Amino acid sequence: MSSYPEKFVYTKEHEWVNAQDGIATVGITDHAQHELGDIVYVDLPKVGSRVEQGKTFGSVESVKAVSDIYAPVSGEVAEVNDSLTTTPEKLNEDPHGAAWLIKVRMSAPDEIKKLLSAADYQSYVGAES
């Protein structure tokens, strides 16, 4: 059973957000990486591009599936985790840590209030599986 950090908030599409000082670090959850299986490729936006809450901003691929990733918050991409291009397996190994995807300079920080707490997400994935 995986544990979901309390300081993150979560989406029903299985992204997590760690918001600090107007910057949101975004990743996919342990549940998501487990469902996807061995991740072989991550497609991420360029620094400076805009993302919008609820819209896709990239995708993750296993050998036989592609899954879109949805932006949990809106804003401008401030940083991209380039290391995932060469070592996508990090997403399987450390989804809540080293394998963050992008950092977003939030344009509407209130958006995170709509997202799930760790406990809510835990019970959501419990119910889903």
Partner 1 sequence: MRYLPKSDSERKEMLAACGIETAEELYAHLPAEARLNRPLDLAPGISEYEIIDFFKARAAETADGYASFLGAGVYRHYRPVLIDTIVSRGEFLTSYTPYQAEIAQGTLTAIFEFQTMICQLTGMDVANASMYDGSTAVPEAAMMALRVTGRNRVLVSRVVHPEYRQVLTTYAKHQGMPVAEFGYDAETGQIDLKDLERKLDDDTAAVIIQSPNFFGVIENVQAAADLAHRRGALLIFVFAEAVSLGILEPPRDADIVAGELQSFAISPSFGGPYAGIIASKEKFLRQLPGRLVGETLDSNGNRAFCLTLSTREQHIRREKATSNICTNQALIALMATVFMTVYGKAGLRELATQNLSKAHYLSSKVKPRFTGPFFNEFVTTAKSAPEEINQTLLARKIIGGLPLGTHYPELADSLLLCATEMTRRADMDTLAEALK
Partner 2 sequence: MIRKVRQHISQNEALLFEETSPGKAGYQLPELDVPSVDPQAALGAPNVRVEIEGFPEVSEVEAIRHFTRLSTWNYAIDLGLYPLGSCTMKYNPRVNEFVARLDGLAWAHPYQPESLSQGALEIIAELESALLEITGMDAITLQPAAGAHGEFTGILLVRAYLESQGNPRKKILVPDSAHGTNPATASMAGYSVQNIKSNAKGMMDVSSLARLLDEDTNNEIAALMVTNPSTLGIFEEDIAKVAEILHAKGAMLYMDGANMNALVGLTRPGDFGVDVMHLNLHKTFSTPHGGGGPGGGPVAVKKHLEPFLPIPRLKRVNEAWTFDYKFPQSIGRVRAFYGNFGVLVRALAYILAHGGNGLKNATIDALMNANYIRRKLEPYYDLPYDSPSMHEVVFSDDRQSKQGVRTGDLAKRLIDYGFHPYTVSFPTIVHGAIMIEPTETESKRELDLFIDAMISIAKEIEKDPKFVLQAPYLTRTSRVDEVTAARRPIVRWRPQRTSSQAAD
* Residue 18 or 56 with smaller CB distance to partner 1: 56
Nearest-angstrom CA–CA distance, 55 and 73 = 9
CB 62 within 8 A of CB 88: no
Rule CB under 8 A: is residue 35 a binding residue for partner 2?
no
* Residue 85 or 117 with smaller CB distance to partner 2: 85
* Residue 35 or 61 with smaller CB distance to partner 2: 61
Nearest-angstrom CA–CA distance, 123 and 20 = 25
Rule CB under 8 A: is residue 108 a binding residue for partner 1?
no
Beta strands in 1-127 (DSSP E): 9-10, 15-20, 23-28, 39-43, 50-51, 56-62, 65-70, 75-80, 102-106
Among 5, 7, 12, 89, binds partner 2 (CB under 8 A): 89
Among 18, 34, 35, 41, binds partner 2 (CB under 8 A): 41
Contact window for partner 1 (CB under 8 A) among 61-69, 81-89, 92-100, 114-122: 61-69
